[in-house]
Structure 1
Amino acid sequence: MVGSLLLRGMLVGIVAGLLAFGFAKIYGEPQVDRAIAFEEQTAQAAGEAPEPELVSRPTQAGFGLLTGVLVYATSIGGLFSLVFAYTYGRISSLGPRATSAVLALAAFVSIVLVPDLKYPANPPSVGNPDTIGSRTVLFFIMLVISIAALTAAVGLSRRLWAQYGPWNATIIAGAAFIAVITVAMYVLPTINEVPEKFSADLLWRFRVASLGIHMVLWTTIGLVFGAIAERSFADQGSRSASSRPALR
């Protein structure tokens, strides 16, 4: 059953990747083009020679973007199916669709939203090349803290269910998660390397588009995989029932 869910998760990931690619192509790539134009204008004003283009811009925005998004989305879909197979029926009594939706929402919050609030995505021409390493390390530290805090919050909620009930236990665990994330965001250093004359509107549109790509990806995975998993479990139940000997 796990192998079947893994295959379905990867197929759902492909579908989610195609939708995310369409969103990125329509809303994200125009912002990248504007950022590249700003970078070229800045370099020209400073008298710097243009850097050689290793990969053409049409290839980056077309086949390259599609390949990257599909590989990422397929991997995420497969991993999501494995997490679903492990958690389904263990953490709560929710059905396949609800479990899938809750898992996708939790993954989006912990993997995308929380790290992005502290270290949001930047378009080309934003960021010092000399600090790429340190910025990457800080982002992954925030990512690990976010995932660990959410996992701990889920465990805390389960332990408090019997004493406070599901609703109150969830509120307490959610407050604990927010408290941990707030402390982490306060302790970790803030990075601001946006050029002085860079368009605030462009920066905002790029970051919204980046967040939107992930929203499309995780929403599709959560909803589509849940529907497929529900049907798969129903078919398996039907086959199990039909294989039982009739009572006489």
Structure 2
Amino acid sequence: MPLTLSFGRLLTAGLLAGLIAGLLAGGFAYLAGEPRIDAAIAIEEQNALAHGEAQGGEELVSRDTQKNVGLFLATGLYGTALGGFLATAYALLRRRLHTSSDTRAALGLAAAALTGIVLVPWLKYPPNPPAVGDPATINQRTWSYLAVLVLGLVAIWAGILAARTQTHEWRRATAGLLGFAVVVTIAYLLLPTINEVPDTFPAVLLWKFRIASLGTQTILWTVLGIAFAGLLNRLATSNPTPDVAADKAATADA
């Protein structure tokens, strides 16, 4: 039976789970991503010197602060915000999910978000480190990324609707994958291809940065789903449903 809780308690659980996930993702980003960013910044500075360009003015926030306090503050706040998003989605969609398990519902929503919000955009527009990208195309890149992000969520929705048209389990899985793949394929074909990576930029550094970025997001959403499901389970054991509570009360009276 689905867990019945006030939205306030669900939101609190989501925010706490998001904070935990954000800090852990920040730890991974610090170890796997920050060294690549430092290397990319060094390349950018070398290119500027080679072309006789003046270095930028004094930084408002030092690089050391950015990759230490700033990184964990950013990922903590980002994770907390996503936790609130997941809790809100859970509150709105729980009754529509075809499962009696709150754990499966929470993990399913987190997996859907990871696929639609992270994986689909990453495959079309993988992130680039500093020194990559033309400032003149930033608006086009921003709007294209937002478009593929929205279409990623639409693809998840289309896959769910397609799966629900079938009765047998393997047919549901096949229909869901086909529905998802059709929307993603159309989105990839319609959206422009953007490739502004200079030929001189080290390919190994580029892909290590991109993998680190994907790993950070994967850890964030995975931990968020597990932590949120765990908190829901804890709330379920400390706040039994009305039927269970009534049974316990009747047993006590007897």
**TM-score, with length taken from structure 1:** 0.93
> 1:3 Cα shift?
1.1
Match of 2:208 in 1: 205
> 1:241 Cα shift?
3.4
Asked if the contact 1:5–1:81 (Cα under 8 Å) also holds between the matched residues in 2, the reply is yes
Q: Matched residue of 1:88: which SS? A: helix
**Whole-Å Cα distance in 1 between the matches of residues 222 and 54 of structure 2?**
43
**Whole-Å Cα distance in 2 between the matches of residues 184 and 15 of structure 1?**
33
Asked if the contact 2:158–2:179 (Cα under 8 Å) also holds between the matched residues in 1, the reply is no
> 1:169 Cα shift?
1.9
Quick one: which amino acid aligns to residue 75 of structure 1?
A
Equivalent in 8, 11, 14 of residue 6 of structure 1: 11
Asked if the contact 2:154–2:183 (Cα under 8 Å) also holds between the matched residues in 1, the reply is no
Give aligned-pair identity as a percent.
Answer: 42
Match of 1:116 in 2: 122
**Whole-Å Cα distance in 1 between the matches of residues 169 and 90 of structure 2?**
21
Match of 1:145 in 2: 151
**Whole-Å Cα distance in 2 between the matches of residues 85 and 230 of structure 1?**
15
Match of 1:98 in 2: 104
Equivalent in 25, 28, 32 of residue 33 of structure 2: 28
Q: Matched residue of 1:237: which SS? A: coil
Match of 1:47 in 2: 52
> 1:11 Cα shift?
0.6
**Whole-Å Cα distance in 2 between the matches of residues 88 and 242 of structure 1?**
25
Asked if the contact 1:96–1:227 (Cα under 8 Å) also holds between the matched residues in 2, the reply is no
Quick one: which amino acid aligns to residue 204 of structure 2?
D
**Whole-Å Cα distance in 2 between the matches of residues 240 and 78 of structure 1?**
29
**Whole-Å Cα distance in 2 between the matches of residues 242 and 124 of structure 1?**
61
Match of 1:234 in 2: 237
Aligned length: 245
> 1:243 Cα shift?
6.8
Can you give the 5+ residue segments of structure 1 that lack an aligned partner in the other structure?
none
> 1:210 Cα shift?
0.3
Alignment of 1:156-175 (within 5 A): 156-158=162-164, 160-161=165-166, 164-175=167-178
Q: Are 2:193 and 1:187 aligned?
A: no
> 1:155 Cα shift?
2.3
**Whole-Å Cα distance in 1 between the matches of residues 75 and 27 of structure 2?**
10
**Whole-Å Cα distance in 2 between the matches of residues 16 and 153 of structure 1?**
27
Alignment of 1:63-74 (within 5 A): 63-74=69-80
**Whole-Å Cα distance in 2 between the matches of residues 175 and 202 of structure 1?**
35
**Whole-Å Cα distance in 2 between the matches of residues 83 and 190 of structure 1?**
31
Asked if the contact 1:17–1:73 (Cα under 8 Å) also holds between the matched residues in 2, the reply is yes
RMSD across aligned positions (CA): 1.7
Post-superposition CA distance 1:43-73 (Å, at most 9, x none):
1100101111232101111122122111110
Quick one: which amino acid aligns to residue 144 of structure 2?
L
**Whole-Å Cα distance in 2 between the matches of residues 94 and 51 of structure 1?**
57
Post-superposition CA distance 1:90-149 (Å, at most 9, x none):
221241222111111111000000001001111000000111111000000111111112
**Whole-Å Cα distance in 1 between the matches of residues 97 and 17 of structure 2?**
23
Farther-moved stretch of structure 1 (206-215 vs 148-157): 148-157
Quick one: which amino acid aligns to residue 235 of structure 2?
S
Equivalent in 87, 98, 104 of residue 81 of structure 1: 87
**Whole-Å Cα distance in 2 between the matches of residues 131 and 64 of structure 1?**
27
Change (3 A) 1:139 1:96: same
